A and B are shown apart, each in its own frame.
Chain A
């Protein structure tokens, strides 16, 4: 079947039956469903969307990857480089913040930022809010969220040994991190 691309503003024909939910790239105006992106409209379940793989800004519930740039006793700053699996163009990072209370879901008051992240760590997180003017608020309070890549003091790539420890293969020493549960374990 030939792909039917639509242009922004073009009405999309909705087959009879239950009206679909409108997802990305579609909008409704004066009772007509129209496209707002150039692409092929598809039904994903009951949602009608037009997907384009383009870099986009984080929104609440986006899964982001970023590297830790700065640590303070109350929060860690993260330069977000990947949003929902789509890398952002170089030099166009968004800044995110992991506050101490958002690191994990238990014993929130005992969190020490320095024992959870270090500068340069690559962190996987979930955007919980648009935050303030400067940054997005990110949480790592889930098993699959946290540090996914870190180098030890000796300079080797460490491997996670528990949810709050990583081991250096060179020296065998462990360092404290809030680790993300590796996929497929």
Chain B
């Protein structure tokens, strides 16, 4: 196998999480679900509860942990440090790296950088880049490292990743125009389901992730995939933007509570 990793103890290729008999896992709520039926367990416009804790990693300049049910990720910010091996630049560089833990998905992920890590990194980079005042950091690099501990759909990784990265940057004391929050949505039948899980994405015909700075009313990034009509996309964006304001409140509260401790 070409992708064999010699530096680590490799788990068996075919490994799955243990299946509990009953009680532990509630099972697939969408097993007998048909298009047109309402969303299971929460209403269409609801997002999962968000837990956020800034400053969890004390070696890093700034960090944040975000958990929304089965999406768990941690973000660490290092720098500004001197850019090496690059030409002189008046503006700073923002470097985003995403890693999936081997146990983050239902199937084991080899700890090797692949295309999926990079697409998440690019997405998060795009979402937070307009918010960072890189013109104040000549010749420097800010490194953002995101580790996805548990993955419940790429869309929610994009959204939570951007929220965590922005909170970690604020925690690190890096100057920015405003906090970035992000929300994902999916089109299922004729409904818009916000903050979909991986299972809900599989039922959806298309999905959209919006990142914005609610304090300034600026949209920083829109990502869309699947079959979505322009009218529906605009509806999704409006719904997401509304939720982003709520998420902004959670992030601000978490950051202020953390600032009081220091």
Contact A9–B175 (Cβ < 8 Å): no
Q: A9-B216, A10-B215, A54-B61 are in contact. Are A38 and B255 (CB under 8 A)?
A: yes
* Selected interface stretch from A13-21, A89-97, A152-160, A175-183: A89-97
Given A38-B173, A54-B172, A95-B82, A9 and B213 touching (CB < 8 A)? yes
Q: Mark A86-113, 1 if CB is under 8 A from B, else 0.
A: 0001001111000000000000000000
What residues on B are CB-neighbors of A24 within 8 Å? 175
Look across to chain A and name the residue whose beta carbon is closest to the beta carbon of B215.
A9
Fill in one digit per residue for A1-18: 1 if any B CB lies within 8 Å of its CB, else 0: 000010111100000000
Q: Which of chain A's residues have a CB closer than 8 A to the CB of B131?
A: 8
Contact of A54 among B82, B173, B178 (CB under 8 A): B173
Point out the residue from A29, A39, A56, A133 that lies within 8 Å of B88, measured CB to CB: A133
Instruction: Verify if B211 is at the interface (C-beta below 8 Å from A).
Output: no
Determine whether B153 belongs to the interface, using a CB cutoff of 8 Å to chain A: no
| A74, CB-defined interface residue at 8 Å | no
CA distance A116 to B256 in the complex (A): 49
Report the separation of the CA atoms of residues A10 and B215 in the bound assembly, to the nearest whole angstrom: 6
A161 proximal to B (CB < 8 A): no
Residue in contact with B140 in the complex, picked from A8, A57, A95, CB distance below 8 Å? A57
Across-interface contacts of B259 in A (CB, < 8 A): 5, 38-39
CB of A57 within 8 A of CB of B88, answer: no
Number of interface residues of A (CB under 8 A): 29
Q: Which of B133, B138, B252 contacts A36 (CB 8 A)?
A: B133
Given contact pairs A29-B216, A36-B133, A5 touches B82 in the complex (Cβ within 8 A): no
Residue B87 CB within 8 A of the other chain:
yes
A27 at the interface (CB under 8 A from B): yes
**With a CB–CB cut-off of 8 A, which chain A residues contact B102?**
none
**Which interface class (under 10, 10 to 19, 20 to 34, 35 or more) fits B?**
20 to 34
Contacts of B48 in A (CB 8 A): none
**Among candidates B87, B139, B215, residue contacting A57 with C-beta atoms closer than 8 Å:** B139
Other-chain contact of A7, B61, B79, B81, B256 (Cβ < 8 Å): B256
Bound Cα distance from A29 to B216, whole angstroms: 9
Contacts of B175 in A (CB 8 A): 8, 24-25, 27, 36-37
Q: Is A52 on the interface with B (CB-CB < 8 A)?
A: yes
B154 to chain A, nearest CB (A): 27
Task: Name the interface residues of A113-146: CB closer than 8 Å to any CB of B.
Answer: 130, 132-133, 136
Residues on A with C-beta less than 8 A from B171 are 38
Question: Does chain A have a CB within 8 A of B189?
Answer: no
Q: Does B179 contact A (CB under 8 A)?
A: yes
Chain A residues, Cβ within 8 Å of B201 = none
Contact of B87 with A34 in the complex, beta carbons under 8 Å: no
Chain B's closest residue to A51 (CB) is B173
Give the chain A neighbours of B80 by CB distance below 8 A.
Answer: 55-57
Complex CA gap A92/B61 in Å reads 12
By beta carbon, the residue of chain A nearest B256 is A5
Cβ-defined contact, A8 with B81, below 8 A:
no
Inter-chain CA distance A57–B173, complex, in Å, is 13
A177 to chain B, nearest CB (A): 27
The answer to whether residues A94 and B61 also contact, given A38-B255, A54-B173 and a CB cut-off of 8 A, is: no
Cα distance A25–B213 in the bound complex, in angstroms: 17
* Distance of A147 Cα from B81 Cα, bound (Å): 25
Instruction: Indicate whether B29 reaches chain A with its CB closer than 8 angstroms.
Output: no
- B176 at interface by CB-CB < 8 Å: yes
Docked-complex contact A8 and B170, CB < 8 angstroms = yes
Min CB distance B175 to A, Å, is 4
Interface residues of A in 45-61 (CB under 8 A from B): 52, 54-57, 59
What are 7 sample pairs from A and B whose C-beta atoms fall under 8 A apart? Answer: A7-B215, A8-B177, A27-B177, A34-B178, A36-B175, A37-B170, A133-B139
Known: A9-B213, A136-B139. 5 other contacts (CB 8 A): A8-B215, A36-B175, A38-B259, A54-B172, A89-B78
A-to-B contact residues, CB < 8 Å: 5, 7-10, 24-25, 27, 29, 34, 36-39, 52, 54-57, 59, 89, 92-95, 130, 132-133, 136
Q: Please report B residues at the A interface, Cβ cutoff 8 Å.
A: 61, 78-82, 86-88, 131, 133, 137-140, 170-173, 175-179, 213, 215-216, 252, 255-256, 259-260
